[in-house]
Structure 1
Amino acid sequence: MLEAELLPALPEEKPLGEGFSEGEESRPQDRYFARLELSGTLERKILPPKGKGKGSQEGGRSRWVYVLRDPAFGEVPLRFPREVWQGIPFWVFQRHLGRIVLARFSPRTDAQGLWSPWHSPALGLSRRPGVEPSRFQARGRLVGVDREEGRLVVEIRPNPQGILKEPFRLILHAALALLEELPPLGSGVYLEGELRPKSRRMVVRKAEPALLWDG
């Protein structure tokens, strides 16, 4: 089996909490985080200039962005927060253009509980020998359960020394049997699951109680 080639990570990646890289078992086990992993081909896309005509703010110049082309999800934008972008050398992207990488995101969902790729910041990349199934992990506070709709709501809060400034909530989907086994509302919970490509639902497959640093 080929080993994954890790790309450079931020020096302060350990306490981010919004999405850990490899070595999850070595990270603090009481921090909030949400991580979605998707694999695909790293590509660079040219975008048309903003505005129209000579008076546009971009001066008629085209712009480019990096995207992940996933076989199941299509073109996924890689929108890195400034703190993350500044910590990744430019050569990393150049060297891995056209190759398969695993991208880590801090996922966001909309009011219907559907994954929102344009609002999900990218947190890092690593090389992979082949495309892997999507998966997500989260550790947060359980704030809502809707058994009729088969949904639960988890709040992800900022960690000390992390880059997340404001809490956010994920609306996730799960089978009734799993919902019935969840800890009481307000408890910490650790979740694992997958992202469904057609429905864009993040479906929980595993849930268990979890300790959180703020009680």
Structure 2
Amino acid sequence: MLEAELLPASSGEKPLGEGFSEGEESRPQDWYFARLELWGTLERKILPPKGKGEGSQEGGRPRWVYVLRDPALGEVPLRFPREVWERIPFWAFQRHLGRTVLARFSPRTNAQGLWSPWHSPALGFSRRPGVEPSRFQARGRLVGVDREEGRLVVEIRPNPQGVLKEPFRLTLHAALALLEGLPSLGSGVYLEGELRPKSRRMVVRKAELVPLWDD
């Protein structure tokens, strides 16, 4: 079962690649997850064959990849894990090319708290008529707080029967008042916030204490 299957869907069209067959109320409330939502235009980009330069006609056929075109972030690669890719029909990409979509990612950051688009797997996308600010949600274990740098670190661990095999950590930014109100290290926390497109910082706006399945 995909991690994405157990995240709440936004109102509107069912996300492609995310199997929300059950409502939000039926998903486990103590599972780990991290999700970043971005709005943009779905585009297809042609790449040269591997090992060849631009415009080369040798060594195989050109490759193509899908990207999300964001006005502030530019091209964001849509790198779907195999389990997700196999669940999205080809016609879904064709139908949504050139249209505004809401794309969902499992975000990754570096140690400085900067979002890394090339290391953030895509979870799915859905049609959206308008564009809204980016947003993220996460439920994980608090493992670090640096008040001087204005950062916190949360660990996302594998869930029972989930596709995530190894834990990963997100370094996030937050105001001092929020950092001072966090629970003790080792506690489970639910976080909400936004991605700052110019700096690529993921900034927490809300934090609360929550239980986790492995407490």
TM superposition score normalised by structure 2: 0.89
1:151 aligned partner, one-letter code: R
Q: Secondary structure at the match of 1:103?
A: strand
Give the Cα–Cα distance (whole angstroms) in 1 for the partners of residues 177 and 24 of structure 2. Answer: 27
2:84 aligned partner, one-letter code: V
Q: Percent same amino acid among aligned pairs?
A: 86
Give the Cα–Cα distance (whole angstroms) in 1 for the partners of residues 143 and 32 of structure 2. Answer: 14
Contact 1:142-1:153 at 8 Å conserved across structures = yes
Residues 76, 23 of structure 1: alpha-carbon distance in 2 compared, 3 angstrom cutoff? farther
Q: Deviation of residue 197 (structure 1)?
A: 0.5
Matched ranges for 1:1-215 at <5 A: 4-11=12-19, 24-52=24-52, 59-215=59-215
2:13 aligned partner, one-letter code: E
Q: Deviations over 1:140-162 (max 9, x none)?
A: 00000000000000000000111
Residues 133, 213 of structure 1: alpha-carbon distance in 2 compared, 3 angstrom cutoff? same
Q: Deviation of residue 4 (structure 1)?
A: 2.7
Q: Deviation of residue 73 (structure 1)?
A: 1.1
Q: Deviation of residue 24 (structure 1)?
A: 4.3
Q: Deviation of residue 23 (structure 1)?
A: 5.2
Q: Deviation of residue 74 (structure 1)?
A: 1.1
Q: CA RMSD in A?
A: 1.9
Q: Which moved more, 1:40-49 or 1:140-149?
A: 40-49
Give the Cα–Cα distance (whole angstroms) in 2 for the partners of residues 52 and 95 of structure 1. Answer: 31
1:177 aligned partner, one-letter code: A
Give the Cα–Cα distance (whole angstroms) in 2 for the partners of residues 132 and 25 of structure 1. Answer: 25
TM superposition score normalised by structure 1: 0.89
Contact 1:52-1:60 at 8 Å conserved across structures = no
2:14 aligned partner, one-letter code: L
2:63 aligned partner, one-letter code: R
**Consecutive unaligned residues in structure 2, runs of 5 or more:** 1-10
Q: Secondary structure at the match of 2:29?
A: coil
Contact 1:41-1:69 at 8 Å conserved across structures = yes
Residues 10, 193 of structure 1: alpha-carbon distance in 2 compared, 3 angstrom cutoff? closer
1:4 aligned partner, one-letter code: G
Q: Secondary structure at the match of 2:148?
A: coil
Alignment-derived partner of residue 18 in structure 1 = none
**Consecutive unaligned residues in structure 1, runs of 5 or more:** 15-21
Q: Deviations over 1:62-118 (max 9, x none)?
A: 110000001121110000000000111111101110111000000000122100000
Contact 2:18-2:123 at 8 Å conserved across structures = no
